[in-house]
């Protein structure tokens, strides 16, 4: 139906040119679909083509075409603007025509002869690591309907569905499963999809928390010179606790060069937890000294208070979420 409206507009523009005494060009310029929000129609540049670069002439020709098309009482509106002829379709007229065509053709509406070539319609996109809910069912129904419509119209359609078993969402889910829930699968297979979805949500939250902890450590190193002065003694404590020398060396390098803190590069899983406890101990020590001196070696009370408040907020969930 859209193509019919566009063809009607093209023919009407050609007739208007003839009525104005012009000979339409052998090849009329293609109509451009209007993409402005709330407007449905086409625009023609034929007036510019006829005027051959004369903007005033183009405006005059476009206005003449628009006037004649408005007289047809077919379009919702027709107006000339900057040499364009804009034809807006009548929603009610087109909708009525579609309904009448459907009622007239009955079951044959939309049927077409075979069309050369092949098209693929990919839909459903089931996620292997979460439950199948009503939103997914809607996408399956829409995709299946589109496949049937296209086939009825004459297309050779290949229906396909991508099984979403790779990607960041799967990585987060498997990481959470392997690190925290190995062997805890529900005994009822019907509940495993929902359970995997819950693991994804938990994994996403855990990783976001770890990002917050890493950002805090980076901030601490940048803002707290007192803490930086204690790094050597803290590193010795880590070695005394059995942390591999390689991990300690990596940590010193990151802290000294102010590089982004990445907890995944360390071989010993306990290192961050032990380091976190030493951070808390150092901040408590600084708080006690600050209470006496009101300033801790270059770090003012407000800055220290902010660091301490952020540490406490993160520390409340550290054992659970790290």
Q: For residue range 276-319, what is the model confidence (pLDDT) as tens digits?
A: 999 999 999 988 887 766 555 556 778 889 999 999 999 999 99
Closest CA to 160 of 150, 170, 152, 168: 150
pLDDT of residue 169: 86
Separation of alpha carbons 50 and 201, rounded Å: 62
* Higher pLDDT among residues 61 and 228, named by residue: 61
Would you say residue 163 has pLDDT above 90?
A: no
pLDDT of residue 159: 96
Q: What is the pTM of this model?
A: 0.60
Q: For residue range 22-66, what is the model confidence (pLDDT) as tens digits?
A: 999 988 999 999 988 888 999 999 999 999 989 999 999 999 999
Q: Are 308 and 287 in contact (CB under 8 A)?
A: yes
Residue 21 — left, alpha, or beta (φ > 0 → left; ψ -120 to 50 → alpha)? left
- Range ranked top by mean pLDDT from 68-82, 121-135, 157-171, 231-245: 68-82
Strand order in the sheet with 41-44: 32-33, 41-44, 84-88, 77-81
pLDDT of residue 190: 86
Band (pLDDT 50/70/90 cuts) for residue 269 is: confident
Residue 124 — left, alpha, or beta (φ > 0 → left; ψ -120 to 50 → alpha)? left
Q: What mean pLDDT, rounded, does the chain reach?
A: 91
Half-sphere exposure of 95 (CA within 13 A, CB side): 5
Give the chain's radius of gyration (CA, Å): 35
What residue ranges in 133-231 does DSSP mark as E strands? 156-160
Band (pLDDT 50/70/90 cuts) for residue 150 is: very high
Q: Which domains does the chain have, with CATH numbers?
A: 2-92 (3.30.1360.70), 111-164 (no CATH), 195-321 (no CATH)
């Amino acid at each position: 139906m859209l193509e019919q409206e566009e063809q009607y507009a093209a023919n009407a523009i050609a007739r208007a040119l003839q009525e104005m005494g012009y000979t339409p060009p052998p090849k009329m310029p293609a109509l451009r679909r209007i993409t402005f929000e709330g407007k449905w129609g086409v625009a023609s540049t034929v007036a510019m083509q006829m005027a051959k670069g004369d903007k005033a002439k183009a405006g005059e020709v476009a206005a003449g075409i628009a006037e004649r098309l408005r007289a047809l009482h077919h379009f919702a509106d027709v107006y000339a603007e900057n040499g364009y002829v804009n034809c807006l379709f009548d929603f009610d007229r087109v909708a009525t025509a579609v309904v009448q065509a459907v009622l007239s053709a009955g079951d044959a509406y939309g049927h077409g002869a075979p069309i050369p070539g092949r098209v693929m319609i990919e839909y459903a996109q089931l996620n292997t690591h979460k439950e199948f809910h009503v939103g997914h069912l809607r996408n399956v129904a829409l995709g299946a309907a589109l496949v049937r419509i296209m086939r009825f119209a004459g297309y050779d359609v290949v229906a396909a569905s991508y099984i979403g078993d790779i990607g960041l969402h799967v990585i987060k889910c498997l990481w959470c499963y392997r690190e925290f829930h190995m062997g805890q699968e529900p005994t009822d297979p019907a509940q495993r999809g929902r359970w995997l979805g819950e693991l994804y949500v938990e994994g996403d939250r855990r990783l976001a928390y770890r990002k917050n902890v890493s950002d805090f450590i980076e901030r601490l190193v940048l803002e707290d010179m007192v803490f930086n002065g204690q790094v050597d003694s803290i590193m010795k404590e880590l070695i005394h606790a059995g942390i591999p020398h390689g991990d300690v060396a990596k940590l010193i390098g990151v802290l000294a060069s102010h590089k982004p803190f990445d907890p995944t590069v360390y071989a010993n899983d306990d290192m961050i937890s032990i380091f976190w406890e030493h951070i808390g101990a150092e901040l408590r020590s600084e708080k006690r000294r600050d209470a006496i001196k009101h300033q801790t070696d270059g770090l003012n009370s407000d800055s220290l208070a902010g660091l301490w408040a952020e540490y406490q907020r993160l520390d409340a969930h550290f054992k659970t979420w790290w």
